[in-house]
């Protein structure tokens, strides 16, 4: 690839994965923020179709020999750590959604998995690795960069714990995607972890709607204004 094309791709990467998440921090109407997110996803889809850089099969297929064992082990570790965290630091909120509104737990988990997780995995895994592979000389550096950018995408929550969790998640999801080349399978893993955080009672820091909480911080209102400060703010 010639240097001019690399420069253009690098600038594109900065705009999509640094500029647009940074714009979400600007105090503008939440509807405009949603439009910004949709523009990023739409652009990635357009480029993918135009240059045929993403194979359609990886968008919906499941690998023939998926490694469910490693996902089970990761899930067990997440369950253990988060239950202990909630038990010792926020005992009143542990499993609060399941205890107070099972319908909310199921409905929001489905919405989150389809309309949040899958687009994220398409943009940050499928598109990112197909589009920008030539900008990196080492795969490990690309994975690290992807994890940093994925974490930065959650800067709008202004929460240190969220940034740490999403950085680790970025590495985990990248490894899964690289191994399987399946957006669907990676999305399933991502959804399992995200839905568990919601179920165990940590959803507020990720802007999930919670029982008996103000609706201004609700995902289904697509309001990320931080008008309501989450309990986990002490971790920032």
| Per-residue pLDDT, 213 | 58
225, 120 Cβ separation under 8 angstroms: no
CA angle 164, 202, 224 (to 5 degrees): 75
Going residue by residue through the chain, which has 236 residues, state the pLDDT in tens, using 9 for 90 and above: 678 889 999 999 999 999 999 998 888 888 888 888 899 999 999 999 888 888 888 888 898 888 899 999 999 999 999 999 999 999 999 999 999 999 999 999 999 999 999 999 999 999 999 999 999 999 999 999 999 999 999 999 989 999 999 999 999 999 999 999 999 999 999 999 999 999 999 998 888 988 865 443 333 333 333 333 344 443 43
Q: How far is CA 146 from CA 3, 76, 124, 130, in A?
A: 22, 25, 7, 12
| Per-residue pLDDT, 221 | 32
204, 210 Cβ separation under 8 angstroms: yes
Closest residue by Cα to residue 23 from 38, 42, 44, 43:
38
């Amino acid at each position: 690839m010639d240097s001019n094309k690399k420069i253009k791709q690098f600038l594109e990467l900065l705009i999509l994965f640094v500029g647009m998440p940074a714009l979400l921090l600007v105090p503008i109407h939440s509807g405009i923020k949603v439009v910004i997110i949709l523009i990023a996803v739409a652009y990635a889809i357009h480029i993918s179709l135009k240059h045929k850089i993403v194979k359609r099969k990886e968008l919906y297929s499941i690998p023939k020999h998926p490694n469910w064992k490693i996902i089970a082990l990761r899930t067990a570790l997440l369950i253990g750590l988060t239950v202990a965290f909630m038990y010792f630091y926020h005992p009143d909120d542990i499993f609060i959604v399941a205890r107070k509104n099972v319908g909310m737990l199921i409905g929001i988990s489905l919405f989150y998995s389809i309309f949040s997780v899958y687009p994220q995995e398409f943009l940050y895994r499928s598109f990112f690795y197909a589009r920008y592979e030539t900008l990196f000389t080492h795969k490990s550096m690309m994975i690290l960069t992807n994890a940093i950018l994925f974490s930065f995408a959650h800067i709008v929550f202004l929460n240190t714990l969220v940034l740490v969790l999403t950085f680790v998640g970025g590495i985990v999801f990248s490894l899964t995607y690289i191994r399987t080349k399946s957006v669907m399978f990676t999305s399933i893993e991502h959804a399992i972890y995200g839905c568990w955080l919601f179920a165990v009672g940590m959803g507020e820091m990720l802007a999930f709607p919670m029982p008996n909480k103000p609706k201004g911080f609700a995902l289904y209102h697509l309001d990320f204004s931080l008008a309501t400060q989450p309990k986990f703010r002490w971790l920032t």
